[in-house]
C-alpha cells in the first residue's frame, strides 16, 4: 500500500477528541468520537517526562 493510502486510512480510524455534545452522539461510520486522554493531544496530559 502506498504512503498516501496509509495516511488516508489512518485519518479515518484516528479518534476525534471533543467535548462538544453535538459531536458526541453516535455517528454511523465514525465510532471514535469522544473524550479521550491521549498524551500530546489532550491538554494537561504530558508526553513522557513530567
Number of Cβ within a 10 Å radius of residue 25: 7
Residue 30 confidence (pLDDT): 65
Whole-model pTM above 0.95? no
- Grid cell, residue 44, equals 494537561
Q: Report the pLDDT value the prediction gives residue 18, as an integer from 0 to 100.
A: 78
SS3 40: coil
Strand partners, 34: 17
Contact 40, 49 (CB under 8 A): no
Location of C-alpha cell 479515518: 12
- The residue with cell 491521549 is 38
pLDDT per residue as tens digits for the range 1-26:
677 888 888 877 788 887 777 777 76
| Residue range 32-45: mean pLDDT, rounded | 79
Q: CA 40, 42, 44, 48: dihedral to nearest 10 degrees?
A: -30
Amino acid at each position: 500500500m502506498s504512503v498516501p493510502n496509509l495516511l488516508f486510512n489512518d485519518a479515518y480510524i484516528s479518534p476525534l477528541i471533543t467535548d462538544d455534545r453535538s459531536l458526541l452522539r453516535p455517528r454511523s461510520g465514525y465510532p471514535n468520537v469522544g473524550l479521550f486522554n491521549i498524551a500530546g493531544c489532550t491538554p494537561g496530559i504530558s508526553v513522557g517526562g513530567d
